[in-house]
Chains A and B, each alone.
Chain A
Amino acid sequence: MVDTDAFEDIPGTYLFNKDRCHEGYHLNMFCMSLMTAQNREAFLADEPGYLDRFPLTEEQRRCVLERDWLGMIHVGGNIYYTSKLGATLGRSFQYMAGAMSGLTQEEYRAMMAAGGRSIEGNRSKSEQE
Chain B
Amino acid sequence: MARIIAGLATSHVPAIGAAMDLGRTEEPYWKPLFDGYEAARKWLADVAPDVVILVYNDHGTAFSLEVIPTYAIGVAREFPPADEGWGPRPVPVVKGHPRLAWHLAESLILDEFDLTIVNEMDVDHGLTVPLSVTCGQPEAWPFPVVPLSVNVIQYPPPTGKRCFDLGRAIRKAVAEYDDDLRVVIFGTGGMSHQLHGERAGVINSKFDRRFLDDMTRNQRRLIDMPHIEYVREAGAEGIELVMWLIMLGALDEGITEVYRHYHVPASNTATGLIIFENDAERAALAKAS
A is bound by B: yes
Listed in ascending order, the chain A residues whose CB lies under 8 Å from chain B are 2, 4, 6-7, 10-18, 21, 25, 28-29, 31-32, 34-37, 40, 70, 73, 78-81, 83-84, 87-88, 92-94, 96-98, 100-102, 108, 111-113, 115-119, 122-124
Closest approach, in angstroms, between the C-beta of A57 and any C-beta of chain B?
Answer: 16
B85 close to A29 (CB less than 8 A): no
Most chain A CB inside 10 Å of its own CB: which residue of B154, B201, B202: B201
Closest approach, in angstroms, between the C-beta of B232 and any C-beta of chain A?
Answer: 5
- Pick the residue among B83, B84, B197, B201 that contacts A116 (CB under 8 A): B201
A35 close to B83 (CB less than 8 A): yes
A15 close to B231 (CB less than 8 A): yes
- Pick the residue among A81, A102, A112 that contacts B268 (CB under 8 A): A112
A101 close to B201 (CB less than 8 A): yes
B153 close to A11 (CB less than 8 A): no
Which DSSP category, helix, strand, loop or mixed, fits chain B's interface? loop
Closest approach, in angstroms, between the C-beta of A110 and any C-beta of chain B?
Answer: 11
Which residue from chain B places its CB closest to the CB of A99 in the assembled complex? B200
CB of B15 within 8 Å of the partner chain: yes
Query: How many chain B residues touch the partner (CB < 8 A)?
Result: 44
Return the 6 tightest CB-CB contacts between A and B, nearest first.
Answer: A116-B203, A12-B198, A12-B199, A87-B85, A97-B200, A79-B196
Chain-A contact segment, one of B57-65, B182-190, B210-218 = B57-65
Closest approach, in angstroms, between the C-beta of A73 and any C-beta of chain B?
Answer: 5
Closest approach, in angstroms, between the C-beta of B40 and any C-beta of chain A?
Answer: 23
Q: Which residues of A contact B84 (CB under 8 A)?
A: 35, 84, 87
B201 close to A7 (CB less than 8 A): no
Q: Which residues of A contact B270 (CB under 8 A)?
A: 116
- Pick the residue among A37, A112, A115 that contacts B205 (CB under 8 A): A115
Most chain B CB inside 10 Å of its own CB: which residue of A4, A6, A80, A88: A80
- Pick the residue among A10, A112, A118 that contacts B267 (CB under 8 A): A112
CB of B204 within 8 Å of the partner chain: yes
Which residue from chain B places its CB closest to the CB of A108 in the assembled complex? B201
Q: Which residues of A contact B232 (CB under 8 A)?
A: 10, 123-124
Closest approach, in angstroms, between the C-beta of A23 and any C-beta of chain B?
Answer: 12
B153 close to A29 (CB less than 8 A): no
A112 close to B61 (CB less than 8 A): no
